[in-house]
Amino acid sequence: VKSGLLKGRKVVVTSGGTIERIDPVRYITNDSSGKMGFAIAKAAREMGAEVYLIHGHTDAAPPAGIASEAVQSADDMYQAVLKHWQDCDLVVKAAAVADYRPAKTASSKMKKKGDTMTLELVKTVDILEQLGKTKAHQFLIGFAAETHDVEAYAKDKLVRKNCDLIVANDVTAEGAGFGTDTNIVQVFDAKGLVEQMPVMSKEEIARRLLSIAAERMNGAGGR
């Protein structure tokens, strides 16, 4: 990987899982450890970019020396991304954002009542879809975490969310997905498969992915 490929570029990376509060002591989240997004943030910096990392709940601390911001909910993450959206060149959305949140967040701890309880959930903002709708000069990379029909769902997300690239992740495969140090992905653009990446470290996936993006950004219409 050439070290200066992203020199002068502003890159925003989202990582980790969002936290959607039920009450002051309970929340809905997911298994994202933040490792994939952290690896992307580090690789972008190695390639010369100015990196801003926005992360939800993660297992480890974010990489040192990278400007970062911790957020909780999908809505918080959206607001944080929006602050950088106009003047950034590349956004990589590796975060696992909740699709639904509790309709109400109780202000005090909810008390145990009957034998069952129902929690009403409402849709969260789809950050990637909103970015896709307002995209101008920015290069947009989405992820698609799937357990089946990986390629079809990933391609659907690429088109629906207007991404330049989508990284399809079969999270049921051994050595891939949530929490692991390695991943297995397929990168697609609107024309089809760009690169198939067999099991490798999240760092190596990050470097390869950003190289593809940088070549495209620096190519037609690039600086």
Residues that bind ligand PMT (CB under 6 A): 32-36, 74, 93-97, 99, 124, 126-128, 142-145, 157, 169, 171, 177-179
Shortest distance, position 216 Cβ to ligand PMT, whole Å: 18
Shortest reach from residue 157's CB to ligand PMT, in Å = 5
Please give the backbone phi and psi of residue 59, each rounded to the nearest 5 degrees, phi first.
-80, -40
**Cα separation of 138 and 56, whole Å?**
23
109 known member of a binding site:
yes
Contact 89, 5 (CB under 8 A): no
- Of residues 52 and 143, the one with the C-beta less far from ligand PMT: 143
Residue showing tokens 């957020």: 71
Query: Hey, how many other C-beta atoms are within 10 angstroms of the C-beta on 40?
Result: 29
Name the DSSP class of 47. T
Closest contact distance (angstroms) between CB of 115 and ligand PMT is 32
183 is catalytic: no
38 annotated as a binding-site residue: no
- Which lies closer to ligand PMT via its Cβ, residue 126 or residue 151? 126
Half-sphere exposure of 123 (CA within 13 A, CB side): 3
Task: Decide whether 5 or 95 has the Cβ nearer to ligand PMT.
Answer: 95
Q: Toward ligand PMT, which CB reaches closer, 156 or 218? A: 156
Taking each helix axis from N to C terminus, what angle separates 74-85 and 127-134, rounded to the nearest 10 degrees? 20
Q: Is 99 annotated as a binding residue?
A: yes
Is 89 annotated as ligand-binding? no
> Pick from 215, 200, 216, 217: which is nearest to 36 by CA?
200
Active site residues: 30
Q: Which residues are part of a known binding site for CTP? A: 99, 109, 143, 157, 161
Q: Tell me the binding residues.
A: 99, 109, 143, 157, 161
